[in-house]
Amino acid sequence: MAETVLVLNAGSSSIKFELFEIGPQDRLASLFAGQIEGIGVRPRLLARTRAGAVLAERTLPREEANDVEGAMAVVERFLDETLDAPPIAAGHRVVHGGPVFSAPVAIDEEVLATLETFVPLAPLHQPYNLALVRALRRSRPDLFQVACFDTAFHRGHPALADCFALPDWLWEEGVRRYGFHGLSYEYVAARLRELDPELAEKKVIVAHLGSGCSMCALRGGKSVESTMGFTALDGLPMGTRPGQLDPGVVLYLAAAKGMDPEAIQHFLYHDCGLKGLSGISNDLRVLLSSADPKAAFALEFFVYKIAQMTGWLAAALEGLDGFVFTAGIGENSPTIREAVAHRLRWLGMELDPHANAAHGPLVSTPASRVRVYVVPTDEELVIARHTLALLRRGGDRR
């Protein structure tokens, strides 16, 4: 069997994994992907080939995957049973690279220690990302591991775009706008160069719309502004997160409602967004099928904010030539795409109904002043590519 690269993405209750085969000229092809969900509660392993064939599907004893380390041990056993040889490297999605890391990096103890200092910047993601790295370092100490950051793609911003109107000492401590979903934007920017090289060099907005949502302004394929800032709470409303919020609301929750920081954090990450607005669900499909007026309002608010943020990002770009929808909602919901385009008709955006229903890739009409694409994202492939590139360079951390 050919050599392989493993890609890992750990959350508080799940581990997602994907295995890539290394082909001629180091071309990567996905062999299978899977996840363990319900860690610590009712863990379940599911793995499928790229074609959809089920390789594994079973509920696990709770004690077998009671935490990230136990769940990773299950993944390792599955890989040992499935592969002739173990992966030669593992690439990790790590949410926050802080002000230090602007590119993927080979992981050693020094890097791990630095990444631990960014836990307060991403408390719901970073600890689990790093726990998975440490688990693999204990079980397979010789395995080459790479951290790929959601923040790195945005690190070329000028200070003007990343700064808050706060005292300079907070900037020095790392309180600044970082932007997230960078691995997704990196893939989309590269894919757009293949689909429309001319447009890729111009002013483009990419809307990553999924359970987490953000938008990114690209000029020549490089990030110049993003709707997400210091944390993954900012910008667009999401499944359970509020997006843009007056900080006075947080003060109100603390002073008037007596909520401590932990309670506020849980509330903002889990009880707001489409779920909070509708009082029904954070699942867009449920809201689209509901006759409840609150569901309709939540969807209208979602579309309104996407259109509003488009204007903000277009101002940063000083114009707009293209718009790309990506991620779960962006790729799969013609209804949301059409509603967004309708709100942006003042920009000259016009969708072709048939192309939109077919999910593109080009979904705008020839007369549209803004070219609109649907581009399925592939963050895992980006991680695999970076991991293999670093391995081939002999683990050079630069």
Given the residues 67, 150, 260, 378, select the one marked as catalytic: 150
Active site residue 150: yes
Mean pLDDT of 226-253: 96
User: Average pLDDT, stretch 88-100?
Assistant: 94
Alpha helices in 245-378 (DSSP H): 247-255, 261-270, 273-278, 284-289, 293-317, 327-332, 334-343, 353-357
Helix, strand, or coil (residue 87): coil
Share of the chain above pLDDT 90, in %: 84
- The pLDDT assigned to 69 comes to 87
pLDDT band, residue 11 (cuts 50/70/90): confident
For residue 227, give the nearest of 179, 181, 274 by alpha carbon. 179
What pTM value is reported for the model? 0.93
In this prediction, residue 1 carries a pLDDT of: 62
**Average pLDDT estimate for 253-261:** 97
Instruction: Determine which helix (DSSP H) or strand (DSSP E) holds 44, and give its type and residue range.
Output: strand 44-49
Confidence class for position 397, pLDDT limits 50, 70, 90 = very low
pLDDT tens sequence across 182-206: 999 999 999 999 999 999 999 999 9
Measured distance CA(150)–CA(323) in Å, rounded = 21
Indicate whether 396 pLDDT > 80: no
Query: pLDDT tens for residues 262-271?
Result: 999 999 999 9
Give me the domains of the chain, ranges plus CATH numbers: 4-149 (3.30.420.40), 197-379 (3.30.420.40)
Residues 216-229 have pLDDT tens digits of: 999 999 999 999 99
Residue 334 clears pLDDT 90, i.e. is over it: yes
pLDDT in tens, 50-87: 888 999 888 888 888 888 888 999 999 999 999 988 99
| Residue 2 pLDDT greater than 70, yes or no | yes
Q: Is the pLDDT of residue 113 over 50?
A: yes
Contact 164, 176 (CB under 8 A): yes
Over residues 124-156, the pLDDT tens digits come to 889 999 999 999 999 999 999 999 999 999 999
